[in-house]
Structure formats: structure tokens, C-alpha cells
Structure 1
Amino acid sequence: MLNFVGHVAVFWLLVYVVDKCMSLPVIARRVRAVYGAAKEAAGISISPCYIKLYTTRFNWLFAKAEGSRVARIWFGCGTLFGVLLFFSSVMLLCVALYKGSVGKDDEQVLTPVMPGLNLPTSDVPYYLTTLIVSALFHEAGHALAAACEMVRINGWGMFLLLVYPGAYVELHPDHLALISAQRQLRIYCAGVWHNLVLALCGLAVFFLLPTLLLPFYSRGTGAVVLYLPEDSIFSEQLSPSTVISDVNMCPVFSTDDWFNCVQKQAHAPLTGYCMPTAILKQYHLYSYADTAALQEGGRGCCPDGTQSDLCFHMLSNSPIMNMSTPYLCLAARAVVTRQLCSHPRDCKGPAACVFPSIPSSSRLIRIRHNSHNRDILYLGEARGLYSTVVLGDYNPRSSYVPLLLPIIISTQLLYLVSLSGAFALLNVVPAYALDGQWVTIALVEAWLEPCIKSQKQRTLFCNCVLFMGTFLLAANVIVSIINLVINNR
């Protein structure tokens, strides 16, 4: 969190210092003139922690919607869904406030996204890109709906406030005041309607992604290694594009299979291996008294300096040397290729079931893959495998196809669906400074004018609704931040 804040502070300091320095007398007059003209032509203004861009270009694109019947039907549907979201958002915030207040963190509906705290710094580009795209689609909805209702568009722009980008559209206030409340409602609901459509389109593309990428990537062949963390213990055994196909004889065809197989190893009892009795008789047997106690219940019987050997204890229907549970020092890599067992009766022929004598929370896991290196033997907690490698489902059909492209696209789509959907839902809340403020006023004017004749009373009613909606939203944000800070201590 501190690292992220430091980078943001340095960025804004450089922007502000450079902007101020370009206006100093020590700078050549020609350079100052070019810099000022460029800012003015682009409509850029800079102040502390705030950059704004305003332009009248591309207004002709919005003007194409003037008088369009298709656009009127489109934004008519947007009004219907916008009004439904208006009431749904209030109910959702009430539920979210209740669950957040009683401490049901696992069921918390509203969670603030804070870079460096609950948003990984590696995901910040996805987050910022989603905010920019969502804001542009939102404001394009307002602009197109305004043009459809013959309201003049003065201009549009974008801004960056600290770390949050956004967009806005400036409509002619007199033109907006002259149209009916129903037509105003179409304009006010158009932004959240476009965000909702954007989220649904992102969701559709996400589910169709395997089909869209089929010419370039194959699936179902295993879990593909995307990259290895810097401290990964598999850095010498695995490399990007390696395909993992098996975890302790549990077949892996996808990342879901990988997680399921690892989870199975974590919860399943310790597994043994079938070893023929004829082979075991070639090894020296140790009694319990001859072994050394290890941490968390393990036993050691191998001489010092043996890197690849491991101590096993044996279960057999015919005890050898009159020992009920003798111990043997065996080559772990040769043992794990044998049939799995939990009791000697699971083995065929004269054989014993040998179990690694390791801590109770540890597992001996064999991982098979398609690289030229030998199969991986992992000794430790099964869940520790989650942090050793990052896997994906898409295997490139050619070396020219980017390995990380599917995960980049799918991650961006997930951010687009979640943030654009949340943007639509929260922006229509009846609260000050949101689209919900103007939706509330238009709804009251359109629906309650026959019941409440006085304009002053309608204004008072709107203010009461907006005050309660603002309080509800603020309470949710405060409770969510408190829960977030408590959970991340």
C-alpha cells in the first residue's frame, strides 16, 4: 500500500512541477508558447492531483442519433432497466448495510476496491482500463440519448482525479430544461443502461472465449505453466508452456483439475505405495527405537547426506523380522512410481504397503509434466503447491502465439463485467452527485406531479429521498472500509 502511494505521489509531483516550470520566465518564450498552445488545443487543464481534458471534437458523431427511431427504442429500453435498477440498488444497499454491520464478511455485497490493499498492484492496469472504458461508454450513452432528444451537446471530456480516471459530457442546460420529464429520464438512464449492456457483452465474450481462441489455442490437454514466481521451488524443473498432466495419479486436464487434485491430496489420508516383499528384503529394516524423531510426528531412518532417500514405515500381512511396523530407507523417486495403497490387501502378490514417515500435515506428491526433466517430487503441505506456479488452460498451437494472451483477455473481461456492472448499479442510487439524483427528480416530476401539485413540495420530497439515499450509500462505504481494514490487519 505504501509503495503504491509513493508511486502515485511521485507521479503527481512530477506532473505539477513540469507544468509549472513550463510557464517560468527562464524557459524560452517559443517553448512556452508551443506548450501553452498544445494544452489549449487539447483542452487540457492541470491542477494538483487533477488533470482534465475538454473538447468539442467528435460532437458530429453524437449528432447522428438526432431523430433516430432506433435510438429512441434503444434508450426507451434503457429507461425501463434504469428505473428497475433504481429501486433494486436501494434494496441491495439495505441488504449490504445489514450484512456488513452484523459482521457477515463472507456475504458482504459491497466491497470497495483499494489499490495496494485488496487490489493487487499487478492488476492496477486492468482496473484503470476498465474504469476508462466504463466511463466512456457511460458518457456516450448520455450524449447519444441527448442527441436523440434534440438536446445540444456542448462538449465532452475526460479527467484523472488522483488515481481514478473518468469522463463527462456537457449538455446545454436550457435545452435540457425545455423537454419533458419523461424525455429527461431517457437521458439520465442512458449512462447506466450502457454500463449494463457493456457488462453483459463482456460476460458473453468471456463465456465464448474458448471458442473464439480455438484456432490459436488448445484446451483439455493439461494445466499449462504461465510463469513461475521468483521464489518458486520449481524454477529449475518447470518453465513457461510446460503442461502438467498428473498429480499423484490424479489426472489433470485443466486448472480446475489441478486445484481439485491438490485439494484432494490435502484432505485425503496419507497414501502408501505397494512394494514387492522380495525387494524390501534387500533393505535394512529399522525398529521404532532405531529411528529419530522429526518435527510434527515424522521419523528419520536414513543416513545423513542422502538427498533423494526418505524414511518409510511398512505395513505387511506377514511381518518381516518379527517387527509390526518396521522402517526402511528407500529411494523416494523409485517408490512413488508404484501402485497406491492404504492397506497391504490393496496390493497384488506378495507385497507390503509402505508409507512415507513424514509430518502429519505433509504429503509426498509426484507431479508429471511433458518437459524433458524428470517428474517432480514435492514434499510438504499440499496447499503450498498453489503458490509455486501460475497455471492456465490455454496451450498455444504455435510458438508465435502469446502464452499469456488468454489470461490477459479473461482477466480484463472479468474486471469489465464486475466493475461496469457495479458502476451501473451504484450510479443510479438516489444520492447527490450521481445520476440517481437526476433520475429521482425526473421520476418525481413524471409520476408524482398529479398527486403533489406544489413544485416546492415535490422539491422537498426529492431532497428527502436524496438525503436518505446519500446516507445509505455513505454508510455502506464506511462499513465496507472498516471491514476491509479489519480483515487486512
Structure 2
Amino acid sequence: MWSALLVGVVIWALLYQAVARYRIGSPSLRLLSVPVSAGGFRARIPLGALRYETSHVPAGIAASLHAYAGSLLGRLWYDLGIVLASVSMVAALVILCVTCLQVVSRLWIAHGPTAHLSKRALEEPASPLWVTPLLWNVNLTSSELVPLLGTMAVSQLVHEWGHVLAASLHKVRPLRWGLTLVFPCVVMAHVTFPDLSHLSARKQLRIVAAGVWHNALLLVAWAIVATLASGLWVDAGGWRVTSCSDSSLAAYMRHGTMVLAVNDLSLAAMSPHERTVWWHRMLDDALPREPGWCIPASDWSQANATCCAASAASRGCFVDESRTWKCFDVLSVFEQTDTRCDESCDGVCARIEPSHPLVRLQLRQPNGSADHVVVQGTASGLGTRVSVSSYQLVAPLRLLLGHNTADLLADVLRVVSRYMYMHQVSMVLFNMLPIHGLDGGHMAELGLHLLWPTDAAMPLYTPSTSAPYTPRRPLSPAIIHTLLDRFTKGLAVVALLGSTWLTLAYGRTV
């Protein structure tokens, strides 16, 4: 698989080079390498990446932008980009700060003085981290690899091309811009400009902010297209099964089967968007914590725990508040036991043993019959074997294209839309963090110098003496920028390490 993918990537790179040579000039395509020297030995070790660069900007685009260089419309268009980039920087800092507070509070719950009193709070699904919507659906499957990398490449190309267009507006030609293809398939765009210090701070801000501005425009354009296309899909009324890779489940979850409820979560009354959100929470095993079942004390005392040591087909392992394990027929408990409990009841309040998880599904078959199916395993494990959709194509098109083609088209558009939104919003926000090397760092530096034009302290002379006195140097834009950079990096480290630890310790961060 990987060898075929590698060959395909190389062929794609060579074809791209041929087309680019014909369309935009004579760029260079070379293998990135690092020089190594030891004594008299000198060599270059390849880094496994192809870099494609050119300094050429198509003449038609450059001429049209030069025509708008002195116009009010061209200046205002990219001034809007400065406003958007400033708002994005503030929003990114707020999201990062709130995420750090959430991570610290959950770590305090886990290891603070009252950790033993808050164990149940850790077992229940917590409110999502503020950074979670920007990284929605990290449960990547092999079928989603191509849309993920494709939208990533498009997002970066649009971003860097925005810088090139804004620079061309001010008659600045990039030294080089292009693509870096990291084997086996990751595409990274880049652009390098000459010294822009001869431009005013406002013109430099336009060039810096143009990247996220074009990402935002692409996001708006895609949202319009998606809104128009959404009229072709209607609410399915639940999770409609589109495919099932498990042979044992395929008899119950055929194509077109509707999932109306999972555990105690009813899906029929939800909107399609809410169902989609809950599907991704299920993939993270973040379904709501369920109350227990009230089992008569006589039945509990007579039951054994044999299935807890070895899984049985129709029996499930239950546990009470005193951590005693017992085995029961799952359908008899779930369908015949009407009383639910949280702590205690007239009998024994029992829950599903977490190490022997069960997922309950309420199904409606294509012929209209109802089924109640209990699946051994986790919700995320079920999600990897079954594909669902909250929508279905309108009846005329569904009959014209066929059910399988309609579902394939819906899945492709759904995946592409999700990653398109995720990448555009992530680039608009994360790229504007005031960190050196990011657009946000350049913009913070330019903004500070624009608001604080000089940091030179004027020498003063005290009365009755000729000795000059220079007061203590105030905070300069460079110092403020450095402090802001280190503060933001510290927040990023806390959010990254804290969320990673929560994921490793509890299997999820939401």
C-alpha cells in the first residue's frame, strides 16, 4: 500500500512540475536535503521532501492587481483583512486561555485534595474543551485520509496565495513561493518575500493579514455552496445505516436501517446537526452516563459472575455500588426492568461493568419492523464498523442515482465539508496566535510599532547640573512582543500537554 502510494505521489509531483513549467514559467523541483560534514567527509542527506518553487506571478493577475494598487477599493478590501486578522488574534487568545483553564481545572479535579470526592465527575462526559470544535473528529479512518490531506493542501495554497496577491497589489514580487511535498503525501505551501521595510506599516499589515483573510473568504464561499447543496438532502429521522463491515451485525444493521436510539439517547427528536454531533461524541466514547437498573435483591443474590471472567453471547456483567459483579441476561434486564436508579432502590442498583461495555440500539428496519439489539463492546468500536448518515437525498434524485451512489456522494461531501470547515477555521485562528514565525507574530510586531512608533528614551538634564540623566527605559514594543510570544507559547504548552495527559489517562478530553 505505502509503496504504491509513494509511486503515485512521485508521479503526481512530476506531472505537477510539467504542467507548472508550461503554465507559469520555469520553477525548480528539488529534493530537500541537509548538509553533513565530519572531518573531511561531506555529504547531503535527503529529508524525504520535494520542494517546488518559483518567483513568477502570472502576468495577467499581477497587471490586474497593479491596476487596483492606487484605488480605494483595493485598499479597503485588504483593510478588511486587517480587521478580521485582529479579531482572529483576540479570539485565538481567548480560546487558548479558556482551554488552559479547563485543562487545569480537570487536572485539579483528578489530583487535587478532593479528588476522591470527584471520581464520578471524571467518569461523566465533561463539557467540551473550547479547542475541540477546531479539531473535530480526530478519529481518522483510512477512507478520510485523502479528503483530509486534500483540504489541508487547498487551505495552505489559498493562504499563501493570499499573501502573494496582497504583495502584488503593492507591486512587491515574492522571492519564491511554491509547495513542499513531504513524503508520502503531506503538502505544505510556503512563500518568501524580500525586505518589506520600505513599505508603510499599514501596507505590511495588509500583506500579513491577507492569508487568513483569503481563508475566511474561502470558508464563506464554501458555506454558501454547502447551504445551496443542503437543499438536496432531507432529514433521515435518525442515524441511517449506509454500510456495515461486521458480518455478525450486518444481519441487523442492513443498508437503510434506522437507528432511533443508542442507550438512553433518543435520536428521533433531534435535528440532523445534533445527531451528527452525537455520532462524533459516540466515536469518542462520550455518551451520557446512564442511570443503573433496579434488580430485585433475590435475583441479585442468586446470580453468579461467570460471564465477567469470560464473555457470554447473551449475558452481561453488571456491578453494584459495593463493586460486586453479577451476570444477567441483558435483554431481560433492559426490556423487563422498568425502574432506573442512580444510587439505591428497593432492590440492587446495578450498572454495566465498564470493563465489559454494552451498547443498546433501538432499530427500525427498512420493512418497518422494530428491533432492540445489544452489542458487546464500546460505542467507539461500534462506530468503526458501521457508517451512518443523518440525511438522505431527496426522493427523485435518490431514485435516479440509486441508494448506494447517493450515500457515497453524501459521505464524500460530508467528509470534505467537515475538514474544509476545520482547516479554514483552524488556520484563521491558530495562525494568528502572536508567536514568532506565525502570521500573528508578524502582525503583533507591526501593530505594536504602529501604535508605539519609537522606543528611544530622550535624555533629560536635571536642574543645577550639566550631567545628563536618562530615565529608566520603558517597555518597548520589542519587549512587549517578546513577553506576548512567551506567554502565548506557555499557554499552548499547557493546553497541549494537559489535553494529551487527559486523553491518555481517561481516554478522552471531552
TM-score, L = length of structure 1: 0.61
Distance 1:391 1:443, change over 3 A: same
- Pick the aligned partner of 1:419 from 423, 426, 432: 423
Distance 1:369 1:424, change over 3 A: same
Over residues 413-461 of structure 1, what are the superposed CA-to-partner deviations in whole Å (9 max), with x where a residue is unaligned? 1222122212111111111111122112211221100565799954444
Q: Measure the CA separation in 2 of the matches of 1:167 and 1:469.
A: 24
2:205 alignment partner in structure 1 = 185
Distance 1:434 1:218, change over 3 A: closer
Structure 1 position 208, deviation (Å): 4.5
Q: Measure the CA separation in 1 of the matches of 2:48 and 2:240.
A: 42
**2:251 aligned counterpart, secondary structure:** coil
Q: Measure the CA separation in 1 of the matches of 2:411 and 2:99.
A: 31
Q: Measure the CA separation in 2 of the matches of 1:222 and 1:93.
A: 35
Q: Measure the CA separation in 1 of the matches of 2:171 and 2:424.
A: 27
Distance 1:488 1:122, change over 3 A: farther
**1:462 aligned counterpart, secondary structure:** helix
Corresponding position: 1:368 with 2:372: no
Q: Measure the CA separation in 2 of the matches of 1:142 and 1:183.
A: 12
2:324 alignment partner in structure 1 = none
Gaps of 5+ in 1: 1-6, 20-33, 271-287, 299-306, 308-331, 344-358
Over residues 49-85 of structure 1, what are the superposed CA-to-partner deviations in whole Å (9 max), with x where a residue is unaligned? 3221113455335412224243322211010111222
1:479 alignment partner in structure 2 = 498
Contact 1:222 1:243 (8 Å CA) reproduced: no
Gaps of 5+ in 2: 33-46, 108-125, 308-312, 314-331, 340-349, 353-357, 459-472
Q: Measure the CA separation in 2 of the matches of 1:156 and 1:81.
A: 24
Structure 1 position 236, deviation (Å): 3.1
Distance 1:398 1:61, change over 3 A: same
Counterpart residue type for residue 53 of structure 2:
Y
Counterpart residue type for residue 49 of structure 1:
G
**2:218 aligned counterpart, secondary structure:** helix
Over residues 207-249 of structure 1, what are the superposed CA-to-partner deviations in whole Å (9 max), with x where a residue is unaligned? 54421x2xxx554466532101x22533135543x2538779x
1:158 alignment partner in structure 2 = 179
Contact 2:240 2:259 (8 Å CA) reproduced: no
**2:66 aligned counterpart, secondary structure:** coil
Q: Measure the CA separation in 2 of the matches of 1:90 and 1:66.
A: 35
Provide the aligned C-alpha RMSD in A: 5.1
Matches within 5 A, 1:74-93: 74-93=77-96
Corresponding position: 1:94 with 2:112: no
Identity in percent: 19
Q: How many pairs does the alignment contain? A: 383
Contact 1:157 1:167 (8 Å CA) reproduced: yes
Structure 1 position 473, deviation (Å): 3.2
Contact 2:292 2:351 (8 Å CA) reproduced: no
Contact 1:67 1:150 (8 Å CA) reproduced: no
Distance 1:294 1:192, change over 3 A: same
2:467 alignment partner in structure 1 = none
TM-score, L = length of structure 2: 0.59
1:398 alignment partner in structure 2 = 400
Matches within 5 A, 1:112-151: 119-151=140-172
- Answer with 105-114 or 119-128: which moved more: 105-114
Contact 1:238 1:371 (8 Å CA) reproduced: no
Structure 1 position 375, deviation (Å): 5.5
Structure 1 position 41, deviation (Å): 5.3
Corresponding position: 1:197 with 2:217: yes
Counterpart residue type for residue 244 of structure 1:
M
Contact 2:153 2:188 (8 Å CA) reproduced: yes
Contact 1:115 1:124 (8 Å CA) reproduced: no
1:443 alignment partner in structure 2 = 447
**1:65 aligned counterpart, secondary structure:** helix
Q: Measure the CA separation in 2 of the matches of 1:15 and 1:383.
A: 37
Structure 1 position 379, deviation (Å): 5.0
Over residues 154-183 of structure 1, what are the superposed CA-to-partner deviations in whole Å (9 max), with x where a residue is unaligned? 442011346643211233x14x22110111
Counterpart residue type for residue 30 of structure 2:
S
Corresponding position: 1:45 with 2:64: no
Q: Measure the CA separation in 2 of the matches of 1:132 and 1:59.
A: 21
Counterpart residue type for residue 482 of structure 1:
W
- Pick the aligned partner of 1:170 from 187, 192, 195: 192
